[in-house]
Amino acid sequence: MTYPPPATAPADSGDELVSQFAADVRRHLSKQPRQLPSRYLYDALGSSLFDAICELPWYRVTRAEMRLLVRFAPRIWSAVLPLDRLIELGAGDGRKLAAFLSGRPTGLAPQRVDLVDISASALESAARAASAVDRTRVVQHHATYESGLQAASGEAPRGRALVLFLGSNIGNFDPSAADALLGDFAQSLRPGDALLLGADLVKPEGELLLAYDDPLGVTAAFNLNLLVRLNRELGADIDPAGFEHRAVWNERRSRVEMHLVSRREQELRIPGAGIALTLKAGETIWTESSYKYRPEQIRGVVERAGFTAAAQWQDARAGFALTLCELRRPH
Ligand code: AVJ
């Protein structure tokens, strides 16, 4: 059941991102199957839990990408120099940015680093990592990828820019949304600008399930925390113990899905979003998709958006690829 939003907005609705949260929760929880957008997993606790996930032996994305960045940073820098702007979308804790920056030729630094993240706590730590670079101005954008990139790329200096879109963050977008997102990047950039894209590759199901349903339960906590956030920010009263974390490999769609499974029939009242709904026992809320790519599919998605894939490096052990792209001239 859906009824109009409350006349009195939630306490912290001065923040535009909070009312966006309410609107998204209302819309996505009313869908069938029920959903919640994965970007809301990253409140302060969610960001910390994600950082913990990156330390788990079963979640190899971050370490694989780090190895590639350390190894190939000098080559990437020499391909993109001279560079005025470095823009990172979804900067996270800033460790990858720091590794990439420390691989640059001595004495050379972009004039400006722009960090875009929907997590305020992640932005703070990424900004600390970037501030170690002398004479570089660090600008933070507490925003979504698209609006953050648009804000960042509109500002001076406007020489060549490199966008970092790492961590397989692209995996959260379904194929048409990934095309639209990269098309959006192309719109905000200019010919000659570069994009470094990190994407997790298809691998055996057993490995994928351990990565998304780890034996320590950290990923379960990360997923269940979304319910805790509904309680805190939208005045809900949900018992997280009434739900179970579930990860499934959807082979046909090439994605790992995370779901929250209701352990019993229960009513969810979310006053800040103006909704109340009844979940059946076993009914799920779909909270995330992590698409896994084949190397040639990565090249396909960037090429369709107007980029040329100039180089691709793979970590065969963990199944991860970094692809360096350049925006083509329109013809
Ligand atoms: C940060 C979106 C790339 O999908 O692998 C980790 C998030 N979810 N474990 C991913 C995540 C569950 C992660 N991304």
Q: Domains of the chain: which residue ranges?
A: 1-232+293-331
Helices and strands of the chain, counted as H and E runs = 10, 13
pLDDT in tens, the chain (331 residues): 344 433 333 333 346 666 999 999 999 999 999 999 999 999 999 999 999 999 999 999 999 999 999 999 999 999 999 999 999 999 888 899 999 999 999 888 899 999 999 888 889 989 998 888 778 899 999 999 999 999 998 887 788 999 999 999 999 999 999 999 999 999 999 999 999 999 999 999 999 999 999 999 999 999 999 999 999 999 999 999 999 999 999 999 999 999 999 999 999 999 999 999 999 999 999 999 999 999 999 999 999 999 999 999 999 999 999 999 999 998 7
The pLDDT of residue 51: 94
The pLDDT of residue 15: 61
Ligand 1 near 193 CB (within 6 A): no
The pLDDT of residue 13: 38
Counting atoms of ligand 1 from 1, which one is nearest the CA of 168? 3
Ligand 1 near 145 CB (within 6 A): no
Nearest in space to 171 (alpha carbons), one of 293, 258, 253: 293
Q: Token match 């800033």: residue?
A: 94
The pLDDT of residue 41: 97
The pLDDT of residue 136: 87
Is 307 in contact with 190 (CB distance < 8 Å)?
Answer: no
Global pTM reads: 0.92
Q: How far apart are CA 11 and CA 2, in angstroms?
A: 21
Ligand 1 near 125 CB (within 6 A): no
* Dist. CA 319 → ligand 1 center (Å): 15
Ligand 1 near 240 CB (within 6 A): no
Q: How deeply is 202 buried, as exposed, middle or buried, from its count of CB atoms within 10 A (0-12, 13-18, 19+)?
A: middle
Q: How far apart are CA 231 and CA 40, in angstroms?
A: 13
Superfamily of the domain at 1-232+293-331: Vaccinia Virus protein VP39 (3.40.50.150)
* Dist. CA 286 → ligand 1 center (Å): 14
The pLDDT of residue 267: 98
**Residue of the CA atom closest to atom 8 of ligand 1:** 212
Ligand 1 near 198 CB (within 6 A): no
Ligand 1 near 171 CB (within 6 A): yes
* Dist. CA 50 → ligand 1 center (Å): 8
The pLDDT of residue 320: 98
Ligand 1 near 168 CB (within 6 A): yes
Strands 284-291 and 275-279: unpaired
